[in-house]
Amino acid sequence: MNNSAINKFLNLKNQVLHKTVLDDNELWIELKAGDEKAFSTLFKRYYSYLIQYGNSFSPFSEKTQDCVQDVFTDIWIYRDSLSDTVVVKAYLLSCVRKRIVRLQQRDKVFNKSKSVDAIAFLFDFSVEQQLISDELTAGKVNQLNKVLNVLPARQKEALYLRYHHGLSVDEIAAILNVNYQSANNLLHRALVNIRKEWKGTFVLLIMLLTHWI
Amino acid sequence: MIAETLFKMKKRNQYREIEDFLADESFRLWMKSENDVDGWEEWTLEHPKRAKLVQEARLWLLAMKVPEDNLSQEQVDTALQNTWMKIEQKEQDRKMEQKLIQLWNTTWFRKIAAILVFGLLSVYVYNNYFANNHNDSYYDQIVNNTDEDGLLEQINNSNKPQIITLSDGSSVLLQPKSKLSYPKIFRGNERNVYLSGEAFFEISKNPKKPFFVHANEIVTKVVGTSFRVKAYASQSDVEVLVRTGKVKVNSNKKNHNLSQKEIVLLPNQGLRFTRKDQTFDKITDITKDKSISNSIKSIEQLSFEFTDIPVAQIFKTIEQAYSVEIDFPKQELQKCHLTTSLSDQPLPEKLKIICKSIGNNSSYTMNGNQITILSKGCN
C-alpha cells in the first residue's frame, strides 16, 4: 500500500523530469519574448539546484542566494540579447559559477589575499543509506564514498556535473572554462583515481572481513 | 517515442564501462528510485557480464549521493519575489540612465552646456591673460614714462637667482621670473630702478642720493640698507621685507586714493600691499608671519659675521647667497683666516673688504655670475 504510493509519486516525478527536459527550451523562448510566467517557472525549477551548486563553493549561503537572484535578474533585464539556443540548465549553472568566481576574486582583492585562484568545489558526496540492505555492500559503498570525497576539487566538480546534473562533456568544459579534451581528461582521471584507490582498500577490506570471520 | 526507446535500448547494448551506465539518466533513475521504466532489470539478467557491471555501477551511484535540496516551497517563492523586486530596481536605474542620455541628446540641453562651458572659459582666459596684461603694464608704463634714457633691462628666465651689480656698487639678487630695469650710470640726485617680480636689494650708503625701487603700485625709498621687494604682476600682493637699515614705502603717484601716504619700515619689519582693495598692511615682525617666513630666501638666513673663518669658507657662503661662482687660488689662500662683518654690504663691497683684509694687493674681477679672485696669499 505504502510502497505503491511511493511508486506512484516517483512515477509522477519521473514524468515531470522527462517533461522538463523538453520544456526548458520552450520556456526559454517564451521568457525571451517577455513572458513573466515562463521566467517564474524556470526560476522555481532551478533555484534550489543553483543554490546547492553555489553553496559548494562558498559557505556563505546568503551571498549565494544574492548571486543566484542576480543571475536571474540579469537574465530578465538583458533577455533581448540572450542566445536562443542554450541548454538552460548548463547555462544557469555556468552563470552562477562565473558570478561566484567574480565575487570571490573581488573579495580577495579587497582582502589583499595573495592568490586569486579559481574557486574550489567543497561539496561532499554522501551515501545512499536507504537503498543499502546488506553489510558487505555498505562497506564497499562507504569505502568508495571516502575515495570519491578525497578527489581533487575540480575532478569532483566534473563528476558532480556529469553524473548528478547529467551535463555533457561539452557543457562541463564550458562551465569549467576549459576545452573539451581537458574536461574529458578531468573525468577520466577522476574515474581512474577512484578505481585504483578503491581496489586497494577493497582488497584490504575483504582480507579483514575474511580474517574476522 | 517508441523509436527513441528502441534506440536507447540498442545503445545500452554497447555499454562496456561503468561510466556508460553512470551517464545514463534512465539507469540512474532505476537505481535511485527503483523505477524501472526501460526494463533494466530484464536487460541485466540477460547476460552475466552485464550483471557484474550493473552491480558495480550501482555501488558507484550509491556512493555518490547528492542530498536533496532542502529549500521549501516558501523559501523559493520568497526568493522569486525578491528577484522581481531586484529587477524592478534595476529597470528603474536603467530608465534614469536612459533619461540622462536622452536629456544629453536634446539640443537645448547641449546648447546650455556649451554656453556654460564657453562662459567659464572666457572668465578663466580673462583672469589669466587680460588681467595679467593689465598688471604687467604697470611695469611697462613706469619704465616707458621715465625721463631717463639708456635703461638696461635684466630678465631672469632661469630657475636660479641672478646677481646684478649697479653702477653705484649696490647689488641686486634677482629671483627667477623677475625683471629689473636700471640706468647704466645713476645721474642726478636720485637712484631709480624698476622691478617686476622679486629681488633682494643691498644698497650702498649714499645719503645724498636716495635709492628708489618702483614696483607695481608702490615706491620704496632707501638710503642704505638691505631689503627684499616682491611684486609679481600675477600675484595679488606686493611685499617689502627689510633686513637692515631703514626703508620708506610710498604709494605709486597715480594712486591718490590711498589712505596712508608713507610707511616707515625698520629691520625685520615688512609690508604687504593688497592690490585688490589698495591697502597697506604693516607686518611688525616678519619672523612671526608664517607666509613670509616660509618664503624667506637663503640670503636672509645666512650670517655674514665671520670670526677667524677660513677664506674658502667665506667664499662658499657668498657663492650660496648670491648664486655666483668664485674662482680663487686655493693653494695660496689655504691658511688665510679672516674676522670681519660683511652684513649690510652689497656684493662688490663685500668682495672689496675681503680682498683688502687678505692684503698683498689682492683684487677681484666680476663677469656676470663669475667672480675671480687674484691673490698671492695673505699677510
| Beta carbons of B86 and A43 less than 8 Å apart | no
A164: containing domain: 129-212
Residue A63 to chain B, least CA–CA distance (Å)? 13
A63, A151: one domain: no
pLDDT tens, position by position, A92-143: 999 999 898 888 777 766 555 544 456 778 888 888 877 777 888 888 888 8
Residue A16 sits at the chain B interface (C-beta within 8 Å):
no
Q: At what angle do helices A61-77 and A88-111 cross, to 10 degrees?
A: 120
Same domain, A6 and A107: yes
**Based on the structure, what is the number of domains in chain A?**
2
**Inter-chain contact B66–A160, Cβ cutoff 8 Å?**
yes
A100 and A140 inside one domain: no
Does residue A153 lie within any of the structural domains? yes
Final residue of a domain: which of A49, A79, A111? A111
Residue A179, pLDDT above cutoff 80 = yes
The 10s digit of each residue's pLDDT in A137-178 is 888 888 888 888 888 888 889 999 998 888 889 999 988 888
The reported pLDDT for the residue numbered B48 is 79
Residues A61 and A105 in one domain: yes
**Gap between the Cα atoms of A16 and A147, Å rounded:** 33
Rounded to 5 degrees, φ, ψ at B191 are -115, 115
Inside any domain, residue A84: yes
Query: If you measure CA to CA, which chain A residue comes closest to B29?
Result: A14
- According to DSSP, the residues that pair with B165 across neighbouring strands are B171
Chain B residues touching A44 at Cβ < 8 A: 76-77, 80
Percent of chain B whose pLDDT exceeds 70: 85
From A40, A144, A164, residue closest to B63, measured CB to CB:
A144
Report angle CA A185, A187, A193 to the nearest 5 degrees.
95
Domain boundary among A111, A146, A177: A111
Do both A91 and A172 map to the same domain? Answer: no
Mean pLDDT across the stretch B98-110?
A: 81
Q: For position A51, which CATH number holds?
A: 1.10.1740.10
Same domain, A6 and A101: yes
Distance from CA of A98 to the nearest CA of B (A): 19
For residue B179 the three cell numbers come to 625683471
Q: Are residues A24 and A84 in the same domain?
A: yes
Domain co-membership, A103 together with A172: no
* Per-residue confidence band for B120, with pLDDT thresholds at 50, 70 and 90: very high
CA B92 to chain centre: 43
ipTM value, please give it: 0.75
Distance CA B226, CA B63 (A): 98
Read off the C-alpha cell for B50.
Answer: 552485464
Are A187 and B19 a contacting pair at CB < 8 A?
Answer: yes
My answer on whether A76 and A161 are in the same domain is no
Q: Which of B58, B87, B89 is the mutation pick for testing A, counting most A CBs within 10 A?
A: B87
On whether both A176 and A88 belong to a single domain, the answer is no
Distance CA B239, CA B227 (A): 10
For residue B339, the SS3 value is: strand
CATH number at residue A133: 1.10.10.10
| 3 state DSSP class of B347 | helix
Most confident of A82-96, B253-267, B268-282, B356-370: A82-96
Enumerate residues 67 to 86 of chain A having a beta carbon within 8 A of any beta carbon in chain B. Answer: 68-70, 72-73, 76-77
Query: Is A163 close to B37, i.e. CB distance below 8 A?
Result: no
Residue A177 gets the label, from left (phi > 0), alpha (psi -120 to 50) or beta, of: left
Partner residue opposite B35 with nearest CB, options A10, A131, A142: A10
Residues A104 and A156 in one domain: no
Decide if pLDDT at B146 tops 50.
yes
Verify that A103 and A160 share a domain, yes or no.
Answer: no
The C-alpha atoms of residue B263 and residue B265 are separated, in whole angstroms, by 6
What spatial distance separates the first Cα and last Cα of chain B, rounded to whole Å?
127
Q: What is the DSSP letter of A92?
A: H
Exposure of B60 by Cβ count < 10 A (0-12 exposed, 13-18 middle, 19+ buried)? Answer: buried
Polymer length of chain A: 213
Chain B closest-CA separation from residue A110 CA (Å): 25
Q: Can you give the pTM of this predicted structure?
A: 0.51
For residue A90, tell me if it sits in a domain: yes
**Strand B237-244 to strand B211-215: parallel, antiparallel, or no bridges (unpaired)?**
unpaired
- Boundary (domain end) residue, out of A111, A138, A162: A111
Q: For residue A195, name the pLDDT band (cuts at 50, 70, 90).
A: confident
Asked if A163 has any chain B CB less than 8 Å from its own CB, the reply is: yes
Mean pLDDT, to the nearest integer, of B292-309?
71
